[in-house]
Amino acid sequence: MGILRKYCLKIILITNLSKSVRASSFNKRKIFNDPVYGFISIDSELTFDVIEHPYFQRLRRIKQLGLTHLVYPGALHTRFHHSMGAMYLMNQVIVALRLKGLEINDEEAQAASLAILLHDVGHGPFSHALENSILEGIHHEAVSRIYMQRLNENFNALLHTAISIFDNSYSRKFFHQLVSSQLDVDRMDYLRRDSFYTGVSEGIINTDRIIKMLTVIDDKIAVEEKGIYSIEKYIVARRLMYWQVYLHKTVIAAESMLIRILSRAKYLVRNGEHIFATPALFFFLQNPVTQKNLEDDPVLLEQFSLLDDFDIFTAIKVWADHKDPILGPLCSRLVNRQLFRIEMQDVPFDQTYLESIRKKIMMSYHLSEEDVDFFMIEDSTANYAYHPLSDKINILYKSGEMVDLAYVSDQLNIAVLHKNVVKYFLCYPKNI
């Protein structure tokens, strides 16, 4: 633990030193070649330096879609890809709004760009799949804010406005809507990007058309009337992508196994057993970390920054040969894609049926009552396409009237739109 702490302190020192001596002029135009949008230009020295920072570079080592590549082999893109794409779309929105006469100064434009660039910087290994498995009870957005505060300290408070946009404390509220709402550039990018990498064409949306139809009325984002069909397509694409990709039953089975693996590893370590892990991973297996811990201790954030997908899957490959009757088999199955069978239905499972599966697993694997849940995963998942009771997608008519999308669309049924669709699932070994 002492060695890891010294290493993290060294990283902090080097990072701060590099920022203090960085060049004062930005004399090279930086361009990233994105497979979805083409060339993305970085015209700001501050933005480029934030991208180059180790906090942001770690996103190259974190998959955007967790274990979805076990279903869609092309889904190997990263949080880095997504964050860069969302920043590009934000910049396009700023250009479009300025052309319509909306006053946005350069500081606001850069702050909005940085806010969306860093909105996912708090994600840990495998993104949403391990949201509560490494940092228990801490949402990635809270971690993103801590990262942004640390970066703000490193960059002489130049991220202050970006943080206020991210927090929705900035006076012009429409900027936060572009970062987080039912029609934000985050969703626009992940739908189009995830569709591209998975090959699921149902997720394709026309981001150019949507952006050109955006406007701001009374400090709220609205869509011009002639853009309604593009928004309808956007809502349908989101609904289809959730059930075909994000909540695909095989993905749910794989990620449920991954969660149980981390849970078992934590149990073993916290009960005194030393198992293989990188120093950073072993620390979080051994120690529960709260949001306040992360906020108060800079070293903890540096330790978290050392974690990525490679730490987790390297450990899982080694654990596949572990003698533990739960950890070993679970890891071996995941490594070799021998995933659990999964049943999904619209109503809760019958308790008699669940008990019969439980007894079969206990007998087959010689497990106790308390351990059987590692091999029998019962849970539910839910999603809704559009929620008119939260922030609305407003359609602007030529008359100046603004109406909620759900009440003006002739293609979308409001009863279906705001219904929270719940699916119950049960995972267990295929030999049962």
| Domain range summary for the chain, segments of one domain joined by + | 42-247+389-412, 249-382
Please give the Cα distance from 126 to 257 (Å, whole number). 13
> Rg for the chain (alpha carbons), in Å?
23
Q: Who wins on pLDDT, 25 or 292?
A: 292
> If you average pLDDT over every residue of the chain, what do you get?
91
pLDDT reported for residue 115: 98
Lowest mean pLDDT among 32-46, 339-353, 390-404: 390-404
Per-residue pLDDT for 410 more than 90? Answer: no
Q: How confident is the model at residue 408 (pLDDT cuts 50, 70, 90)?
A: confident
Per residue in 343-400, pLDDT tens? Answer: 999 999 999 999 999 999 999 999 999 999 999 999 999 988 787 667 789 999 999 9
pLDDT reported for residue 210: 98
Single-letter residue type at 236: V
Q: How confident is the model at residue 67 (pLDDT cuts 50, 70, 90)?
A: very high
Per-residue pLDDT for 17 more than 70? Answer: no
Burial 95-110 (b: 16+ CB within 10 A, else e): ebbeeeeeebeeebbb
> What does the pLDDT average to over 257-280?
96
The CATH class of 249-382 is mainly alpha
Per residue in 68-104, pLDDT tens? Answer: 999 999 999 999 999 999 999 999 999 999 999 999 9
Q: What percent of the chain has pLDDT over 90?
A: 82
Q: How confident is the model at residue 20 (pLDDT cuts 50, 70, 90)?
A: very low
> What does the pLDDT average to over 185-198?
98
Contact 385, 355 (CB under 8 A): no
According to DSSP, the β-strands at 394-396 and 220-224 are: parallel
pLDDT reported for residue 26: 55
Q: How confident is the model at residue 6 (pLDDT cuts 50, 70, 90)?
A: low
pLDDT reported for residue 18: 45
Q: 42-247+389-412 and 249-382: same fold? A: no
User: What CATH topology corresponds to 42-247+389-412?
Assistant: Hypothetical protein af1432 (1.10.3210)
Which helix (DSSP H) or strand (DSSP E) does residue 80 occupy? helix 79-99
Per-residue pLDDT for 301 more than 80? Answer: yes
> What does the pLDDT average to over 123-145?
92
**Which residue, chain included where needed, has tokens 């990709």?**
245
pLDDT reported for residue 384: 81
